[in-house]
Amino acid sequence: MKKKLLALAMAACMALSMTAFADETEGETASAPLEVQTVTPGKLTVATSPDFAPYEFYAIDEDGNPTLAGFDIELAKYIADYMGLELEIIPIDFNGVLTELATKSVDIGMSGLSPDPDRMDAMDFSDIYRGGGQSLVTVKDKADTFNTFEAVNKPEVSVGAQIGSIQETLAKENSPEASLVSLVNVTDIISELLAGKLDAAYIETAVAESYQKNYPELEIVLDVPYDIEGTAAGVCKGNTELLMAVNEAIALAKEDGTIDKLYEEAEALAAGEKYEGMLDDEGEVPEEAESEAATEAVTE
């Protein structure tokens, strides 16, 4: 009986997927995106900086293998599917994402990017696909000391931010007197905060909250005002058809509830075993990071 049901279900699925296929080839071409030009024909090449859960990170499976995961990664898949393109993701540090876009070496950057006007000479921006805010973060022991902008604006105070990020600009604006430590990865900023080498850091709120789950000693002390709240895709400057197609895909994902679903799934996945940062040349989690994780497990 069970077998029969399974066979029926499979037949139904096949019929459905064949209808979907038929629809696509017959009627739907009119609403499908324009012919887009990409860096590699047939592919959508996307740069991302995987130190930014739940947006982008490596999920670690039971065998310890890392897989690129997160909200931006899943949305990139959705956008590539929408355009009928194969997806190629280039993991690179955040400043690299900006450079790849500026040099038109990739089609889009999906990296928790804020559509900051200062970047608009180097790239176009899609519509915003997720809101968000900025925070000042420190550790519990220091939370009573570094909880005002005044307190983090003194030469003896060290303040961290990611190189090339809007947080680096926010640090310069809000803590001009402090000693600014700009680091390549958000992961390094977190390690330095925990090691007591940094007093405070400017970090995206959702990302700070995600790190907090692994490191409860982190404390968000202040909301940092920033005019351009939210995340967009950076699109290779001047590629209007691509920009339009990306916006169409985003609009569809908002409309059909995909955006919220993908974000929730990414948050859930990020609560599990993960690694944030770049893999080594063999595509594995670097050894120091592994031993750090092991030490944590021991001390917890």
- Applying CB under 6 A, the residues found at the interface with ligand ARG are 49, 51-52, 55-56, 94, 111-114, 162, 165-166, 186, 204
Distance CA 136, CA 146 (A): 9
Least spacing, CB of residue 52 vs ligand ARG, in Å: 3
Least spacing, CB of residue 135 vs ligand ARG, in Å: 12
Beta carbon nearer to ligand ARG, 158 or 165:
165
Distance CA 63, CA 65 (A): 6
Beta carbon nearer to ligand ARG, 154 or 172:
172
Beta carbon nearer to ligand ARG, 97 or 253:
97
134-139/43-48 β-pairing: unpaired
Beta carbon nearer to ligand ARG, 38 or 231:
231
- Edge-to-edge order in the sheet of strand 43-48: 86-91, 43-48, 108-109, 234-236, 123-125
Beta carbon nearer to ligand ARG, 33 or 164:
164
The β-bridge partners of 87 are 44
Non-local (6+) Cβ contacts of 210 within 8 A are 53, 54, 267, 270
Least spacing, CB of residue 87 vs ligand ARG, in Å: 17
Q: How far is CA 189 from the centre of its chain?
A: 16
Beta carbon nearer to ligand ARG, 56 or 151:
56
Q: Looking at residue 182, what DSSP letter applies?
A: E
Distance CA 128, CA 114 (A): 9
Asked whether the CA dihedral 12, 258, 208, 275 is positive or negative, the reply is: positive
Length of the chain: 300
The H-or-E segment that residue 74 falls in is helix 71-83
SS3 (DSSP) at 127: coil
Find, among 169, 166, 158, 176, the residue nearest to 204 by Cα: 166
Least spacing, CB of residue 76 vs ligand ARG, in Å: 13
Least spacing, CB of residue 251 vs ligand ARG, in Å: 22
Least spacing, CB of residue 132 vs ligand ARG, in Å: 7
Find, among 167, 136, 185, the residue nearest to 288 by Cα: 185
Least spacing, CB of residue 270 vs ligand ARG, in Å: 13
Beta carbon nearer to ligand ARG, 151 or 270:
270
The angle subtended at Cα 219 by Cα 208 and Cα 52, nearest 5°, is 10
- Edge-to-edge order in the sheet of strand 66-69: 66-69, 57-60, 274-275
Least spacing, CB of residue 51 vs ligand ARG, in Å: 5
